Amino acid sequence: MIGNCLENVRKNVPLVHNITNYVTVNDVANVLLACGGSPIMSDEPDDVADITSICGGLNINIGTLNKNSIEGMFIAGKKANELSHKILLDPVGAGASKLRTDTAVKLAKEIKFDVIRGNISEIKTLALGSGTTKGVDADVSDAVTEENLDNAVAFVKDYAKKSGCVIAITGAIDLVSDGEKCYVIRNGRPEMSKITGTGCQLSGMTTAFIVANPDNVLEATAAAVCTMGLAGEIAFANMAETDGNSTYRNRIIDAIYNMDAETLEKGAKYELR
């Protein structure tokens, strides 16, 4: 089933509108192409309504927000809601500044998202309406571990129920819940945290997955998370001795490009709680 979700992306070639940060935008575009989607980027308020109208989904990432792009996010989000397009929010750095927290909270309030994906600190900030994060990384004290897993699962289910959308918390252990069920995913490698933007890439890819699997958003999100983690494992196995984080970045995108449904189905490591 997880494998089918990837197949549907390759079959449908979903066009995804990204309002995203300028740090990792190129990798987001190449990951979208690697998984079978098609990216377009636009953040200008006068441009976003037209652009989102021709797309199937919208990926909003606040990583390098500014006054102009924030305006674009609300216009695009409302238009995408009108058109019943799939929408994802990546609240990068929510908790790290008032502007980021306020923007993420306001977006979550005024726009109906299908998926919100972030690290545990960002999602806690959203759930509480305030919080602290260590820059764009999760606070160590927040990290989901085998020890606090039960509590974390309860938290994500609760917030998914309250927010009415699928919540994906990614880290060493990933959690994806729609309020009823929770995927606990153990794919990935710790070295992925030494590459900028694996989270942003995952958000872009997840948007393509939910557009291509519109009636199955929970599983499509879990499938995207497994794809990213498994690609990290495959890419790591392909690393030569002198390779480092820059080559690792390329090899992960390459692994997504070469991933097929069978490989994903076999390599996905998850349990349902």
Tell which residue, 133, 107, 130, has the closest CA to residue 120: 133
Q: Sort 162 into a burial class: Cβ within 10 Å, 0-12 / 13-18 / 19+.
A: exposed
Contact 201, 31 (CB under 8 A): yes
Q: How far is the CB of 190 from a copy of itself (least distance, A)?
A: 13
Identify the helix (H) or strand (E) that includes residue 25.
Answer: helix 25-35
Q: Does 260 bind a copy of itself (CB under 8 A)?
A: no
Tell which residue, 244, 205, 251, 245, has the closest CA to residue 225: 205
Q: How far is the CB of 99 from a copy of itself (least distance, A)?
A: 4
- Specify the stretch interacting with a copy of itself by CB under 8 A; choose among 26-34, 118-126, 216-224, 260-268: 26-34
Two structure tokens written together for 254: 């390459």
Binding to a copy of itself, residues 142-171 (CB under 8 A): none
Two structure tokens written together for 225: 């998370």
Q: Which long-range contacts (CB under 8 A, 24 or more apart) does 149-158 make?
A: 149/173, 149/184, 152/120, 153/177, 153/182, 153/184, 153/273, 155/124, 155/127, 156/123, 156/182, 157/182
Q: Is 117 annotated as a binding residue?
A: yes
Q: How many CA within 13 A on the CB side of residue 177?
A: 23
Q: How far is the CB of 103 from a copy of itself (least distance, A)?
A: 9
> Which of 4, 38 has the CB closer to a copy of itself?
38
Binding to a copy of itself, residues 97-136 (CB under 8 A): 97-100, 134-136
**Sole binder of a copy of itself in the list 89, 219, 249, 268 (CB under 8 A):** 249
Strands 38-41, 182-185: pairing kind:
unpaired
- Specify the stretch interacting with a copy of itself by CB under 8 A; choose among 74-82, 91-99, 118-126, 154-162: 91-99
Spacing of C-alpha 212 from chain mean position: 15
Q: How far is the CB of 84 from a copy of itself (least distance, A)?
A: 19
Q: Does 253 bind a copy of itself (CB under 8 A)?
A: yes
| Residue with the two structure tokens 């480092």 | 244
Q: Does 43 bind a copy of itself (CB under 8 A)?
A: yes
Q: Does 68 bind a copy of itself (CB under 8 A)?
A: yes
Q: Does 50 bind a copy of itself (CB under 8 A)?
A: yes
> Which of 111, 252 has the CB closer to a copy of itself?
252
Q: Does 57 bind a copy of itself (CB under 8 A)?
A: no
Task: Encode 167-199: b = buried (16+ Cβ within 10 Å), e = exposed.
Answer: bbbbbebbbbbbbeebbbbebbbeebeebebbb
Q: How far is the CB of 160 from a copy of itself (least distance, A)?
A: 28
**Sole binder of a copy of itself in the list 148, 216, 247, 263 (CB under 8 A):** 247
Q: Is 221 annotated as a binding residue?
A: no
* Number of residues in contact with a copy of itself under rule CB under 8 A: 63
Please state, in angstroms and rounded to a whole number, the distance separating the CA atoms of residues 8 and 3.
9
Enumerate the known binding-site residues for ATP: 117, 170
Which residues lie near a copy of itself (CB under 8 A)?
15, 21-27, 29-30, 33-34, 38-44, 46-47, 50-51, 54-55, 63-68, 93, 96-100, 134-137, 194-197, 234, 238, 242-247, 249-258
